[in-house]
Amino acid sequence: MIERQLWHPVVAAMHLRDEPVAVTLLGQDVVLWREHGHDGHAGVVHAWADRCPHRGARLSLGRVLHHLHGARLECPYHGWQFAGDTAATQGHHGAPVPVGRCVHVPAAPTFEPPPAHCAQVFDAQEHHGLVWVRLERPDLTQVPASLAQPPGFEPWQDPLWRQLICGPYEVQTSAPRLVENFLDLSHFGFVHEGWLGARTHAQVDTGKVDEGAEGVRAHECKAWQPKGYAGAEEGGWVVYRYDVPHPFAAILRKDATEGDPVSNAIALFIRPDGDDRCTAWFAMATLGDLSDDEELRAFQDTVFAQDRPVVESQQPKRLPLGKDGPIAEVHGPADRMSSAYRRYLVRTGISLGVC
């Protein structure tokens, strides 16, 4: 399964603090935990299989310890302690141990656990305000180099822009269905009437769509919106750019124009929990928007609440890629981005959330 070799967002970085957090990624139960930071910096994050190698209890029910020899995760059942990055030593000899190794068995304090007494450890890193995890190292003959890292999102690093995370939104559908919804301009006038569109102005222009190994790009996409720009009294046409740099991520950008001083970039990042459920965040970056963070979040929450019942109603929950058969879907001229996205999933060899 190729998606095990890709980075996926698993939790907002700000929501991973002193307590372990349990998530499901691609059907795998994962425990996330964070070491204590120093000097105002957040500590290192860890992602392990959420299963103690001793008797299979959930490590996420345990707690994070800050021991003399570094950070450890303690199992809730028999209190075995497993080493974090800075728990570099074990037992009385002070030998270095790898991350995930059991370093203390309270019922037998002089026992030195052998290498097999180890949690299953995954790669983890922080990026764009989220923690990202991959379950396997990539085979670069199968995975494009552009997917060896989490997708780029430059406005997140720009000190002139304001950044915030919206979500998590837990959704009972597949990650590909949610990406397609994000790329779809022609639902604005119906699902988001009065907010992002109007049924009296339902026509859209899908612009120019480019497809390559690195994903899908579309520019000059136009939709009519009831407020053409922040502070506008009247509706107007808005021009967007879309970028799909990862099978389960999409970025929308709207640049400031003469009459509209606001630039926005919104990245949809999705954790594929399983074939028919996922968890999403929006990483938003904005320049020139005068509303505060809570107002921006409330707007995104409202728009998402409008999308939710419709995307959760779509059958099948997995995206049908087949051209024939009982679950084939038909396409209209405004679905060019969706068709390009489906071809990208086929090219990348994605099997999760598609049929």
| Nearest alpha-carbon partner for 242 in 179, 333, 289 | 179
Judge whether 237 and 203 are in contact, CB under 8 Å: no
d(CA 97, CA 100): 8
* Strand 89-90 with 81-83, pairing: unpaired
57 touches which of ligand FES, Co ion, none (CB within 5 to 8 A by kind)?
Answer: ligand FES
- Report the partner that residue 119 touches, choosing among Co ion, ligand FES, none (CB closer than 5 to 8 A by kind): none
Q: Which does 17 bind (CB under 5 to 8 A by kind): Co ion, ligand FES, none?
A: none
Least Å distance, CB 15 to ligand FES, is 25
| Choice between 78 and 137, CB closer to ligand FES | 78
> Which of ligand FES, Co ion, none has residue 131 at its interface (CB below 5 to 8 Å by kind)?
none
Nearest Cα to Cα of residue 332 among 176, 187, 179: 187
Residue 112 CB, nearest distance to ligand FES (Å)?
16
Site of interaction with ligand FES (CB under 6 A):
52, 54-55, 57, 75, 77-78, 80
Binding-residue pattern over the window 128 to 167 for Co ion, x denoting contact by CB under 5 A: ----------------------------------------
Q: Which is nearer to ligand FES, 110 or 141 (CB)?
A: 110
**CB contact set of 239 (below 8 Å; sequence gap of 6+):** 220, 221, 222, 254, 255, 257
Using alpha carbons only, how large is the chain's radius of gyration in Å? 23
In the complex with Co ion, which residue's Cβ is closer, 22 or 239?
A: 239
By CB under 5 A, tell whether 74 contacts Co ion.
no
Closer residue to ligand FES in complex, CB, 43/62: 62
**Partner whose footprint covers residue 307, from ligand FES, Co ion, none (CB < 5 to 8 Å by kind):** Co ion
Q: How far apart are CA 146 and CA 18, in angstroms?
A: 33
**Nearest distance in Å: CB 56, ligand FES:** 6
Question: β-pairing, 215-225 with 102-104?
Answer: unpaired
Q: Smallest distance, Å, CB 211 to Co ion?
A: 23
Closest CB 76 distance from ligand FES, rounded Å:
7
CB 155, min distance to Co ion, A: 21
Q: Which is nearer to ligand FES, 73 or 319 (CB)?
A: 73
Identify which of residues 78 and 343 has a Cβ nearer to ligand FES in the complex.
78
User: CB-side exposure of 207: number of CA atoms within 13 Å?
Assistant: 23
Q: Residues with Cβ < 8 Å from 123, sequence gap 6 or more?
A: 7, 47, 133, 134, 137
d(CA 287, CA 64): 39
Nearer to ligand FES (CB atom), residue 75 or residue 135? 75
Partner in contact with 52, chosen from Co ion, ligand FES, none, beta carbon below 5 to 8 Å by kind: ligand FES
Name every residue whose Cβ is closer than 8 Å to that of residue 78 and which is 6 or more positions away in sequence.
Answer: 54, 55, 105, 106, 107
50 vs 307, beta carbon nearer Co ion? 307
* Least gap, CB of 307 to Co ion (angstroms): 4
- CB 320, min distance to Co ion, A: 20
Number of neighbouring beta carbons within 10 Å of residue 296:
18
Closest to 166 in 3D by CA, of 252, 245, 280, 271:
280
User: 207, 233 in Cβ contact below 8 A?
Assistant: no
Tokens describing residue 262: 């606001």
Q: Which is nearer to ligand FES, 60 or 263 (CB)?
A: 60
* Shortest distance, position 17 Cβ to ligand FES, whole Å: 23
Residue list 281-320, contact with Co ion (CB under 5 A): 307
CA gap 220, 210 in Å, rounded: 12
CB atoms within 10 A of CB 277: 18
Which parts of this chain interact with Co ion (CB under 5 A)? 307
